[in-house]
Structure 1
Amino acid sequence: MSFKQFSILLLLASLFGASFLFIKIASPSLGPLFLIESRVGIAAISLIIFARLLKQKIEIKHKWKELMILGAINAAIPFVLIAYAELNLSASLAAIINSTTPLFSVIISILWLKEGKNMRTFLGIIMGCIGVGILVGWSPIQLNVKVMLSIGAISLAALFYGIGGVYSKRSFQDMKSFDLAIGQQLGASIVLLPFALLDMPNKLPSIGVTISVLGLAILSTSVAYLLYFYLIKNIGPTKTVSVTLLVPIFGIIWGVLFLDERTTLSTYIGLFVVLMSILLVSNTKQKVSDVPKQVVK
């Protein structure tokens, strides 16, 4: 992984980390289904407008079936699962559980793409999971049915992210990152629309909720998925989804900056461990067959 690619990975982590805060603010007011429909719908529109301003041709019709599938498994389903879970869990805990995505990605890559993984990759991922555990300390969580179901929902979302990362690499080698980002959000919007119409809020959102929805849609979705698909095509799905190990770190950073949250020694120890795990995973050598045939510019 080059310095440029690692910098993009950090930026992507910061945007994805902010998404958990935006969802935590907006989900109780709008409801999970309507919130996520707003997220992917606004994201798709903003990406299309951006593409027109740049005079880029959008080519997604020939892959519309695959994009519908991608929109469902890599956006609609995991987004909704996380939004439901955050009705009962904190944003930071949701981000931490979501960091299990690389584990699923490795397993799916081995089973689906027949990729060989060395001990360095597995050690890096295990170290990352230990790091995010350190980040939250050992504060007890009051377990009940709602909390257990919410933890299960985010774990299931992580599984879908792992599947989506591998599926996008396998099915969209010939598509530009821009087209993939637009196609995924449009696909997710179409899938969710009938369900969102049945779950519309009864009152107009507050200014804070509105800002959160726009931040979630434009920053944490439109911009983030352009970066995400760029990395998928250039460094592979396993290394890309390792971004979820960094997401809790940025959740803490945003909490300190905007919510005056306190940090402890475990915060900084966890930060160091997670960064070391990312270096282990990102320095794993790729096989020639894993290198994308076409590099997105």
Structure 2
Amino acid sequence: MRSIDTGPDALGTPNTRAWATPLELGLLGAIWGASFLFMRVAAKDFGAVPLVELRLGLGALVLLPFLWRARSSFPLKLWPKLALIGAINSAIPFVLFAWAAQRAPAGVAAITNSMAVLFTALVGFLFFGEKIGPQRAIALAAGFVGVVVLASGKAAGASVGWAVIAGCSAAFLYGIAANVLRRHLAGLPPAAVAAATLGTSALLTLPFAIAQWPEHAIPVMSWFSAAMLGVLCTGIAFAMYYRLILRIGAARAVTVTYLVPLFGVAWAWLLLDEPLTLTMGIAGVLILGSVALSQRATR
């Protein structure tokens, strides 16, 4: 795939907007970083599962046109596999992050999210026979040290250890899903796959969301946060991400991973007045540094 700044575009005309790619990567990092802010605001009123149901349903609706356009590529026999991958890649991780948002600052979950890149390499090594190499092994070790540092910290006097475990478990599931997607759904339109997995996840989560739907009135700000989480941070962000992959390739698009925790911490600090702790800073440097080292080794 030819990148945006190395030649003509798909219509054969010279590309004069080389600035578009870093701008879009920054915007996507800001949007995904904001998802932890919106979860932090809305999870306390909705609860984890009802909030995730709204996120999945709204995200699937935004991406539905992509699925409809590629519907001939999705036979009935493929849908059980899509449902399983949706549970691993969307439903369960989203619930874990929403649960963590009820118990720890938004920045904590944002930092653990970046472990997904390292877990993808680890799962490939453990279960799919991929080579990991000494540089990526060092990156994994540094990342796990960062997790230990993060889990040892406190926020407002309370331990965030369980929230860190939940966030890392979600990132580990992302790592599993990334390997499964690459091997079993290769060749399908990515945005359509995202719509299908989000939609099946919404159906799987629906009974649990109904059973746990809050009986109290939900504040307007929490409704707004839930809507933004589903429409902007899931549906529109997924579409932006896959558009970037198609234009500049996955290796460059995945660099957005470095920006998400930075924006996640910044939004929480600016808008929720959440503190920036020393353990968050040390852990963030270790984890982001390990992700950068892992990506360099991959290239």
TM-score tier by shorter-chain length is 0.7 to 0.9
Supply the distance in 2 between the matched residues of 1:143 and 1:267 (Cα, whole angstroms): 14
Pairing 1:112–2:127 present: yes
The letter of the residue matching 2:46 is L
Mapping of residues 214-233 of structure 1, within 5 Å: 214-228=227-241
Mapping of residues 83-232 of structure 1, within 5 Å: 83-127=98-142, 140=154, 148-228=161-241
Residue in 2 that maps onto 1:250: 263
Contact 1:18–1:254 (Cα < 8 Å) also in 2: yes
The worse-fitting range, judged by mean Cα deviation, of 245-254 and 212-221 is 245-254
The letter of the residue matching 2:116 is T
Equivalent residue for 2:84, pick from 59, 66, 69 = 69
The alignment yields a C-alpha RMSD, in angstroms, of 3.8
Equivalent residue for 2:60, pick from 28, 33, 44 = 44
Q: TM-score, normalised by structure 1?
A: 0.76
Contact 2:106–2:265 (Cα < 8 Å) also in 1: no
Pairing 1:13–2:33 present: no
Supply the distance in 2 between the matched residues of 1:212 and 1:124 (Cα, whole angstroms): 35
The letter of the residue matching 2:84 is I
Secondary structure at the counterpart of residue 210 of structure 1: helix
Residue in 2 that maps onto 1:30: 46
Supply the distance in 1 between the matched residues of 2:267 and 2:4 (Cα, whole angstroms): 23
Among the aligned pairs, what percent are the same residue?
31
Contact 1:43–1:222 (Cα < 8 Å) also in 2: yes
Supply the distance in 1 between the matched residues of 2:166 and 2:298 (Cα, whole angstroms): 33
The letter of the residue matching 1:118 is G
5+ residue gaps, structure 1, are: 287-297
Q: TM-score, normalised by structure 2?
A: 0.75
Supply the distance in 2 between the matched residues of 1:87 and 1:202 (Cα, whole angstroms): 18
Are residues 108 and 152 of structure 1, via their aligned partners in 2, closer, same or farther at CA, if it must alter by over 3 Å?
same
Are residues 186 and 203 of structure 1, via their aligned partners in 2, closer, same or farther at CA, if it must alter by over 3 Å?
same
Supply the distance in 1 between the matched residues of 2:276 and 2:165 (Cα, whole angstroms): 27
Supply the distance in 2 between the matched residues of 1:140 and 1:201 (Cα, whole angstroms): 29
5+ residue gaps, structure 2, are: 6-20
Are residues 218 and 4 of structure 1, via their aligned partners in 2, closer, same or farther at CA, if it must alter by over 3 Å?
farther
The worse-fitting range, judged by mean Cα deviation, of 36-45 and 113-122 is 113-122
Q: How many residues align?
A: 278
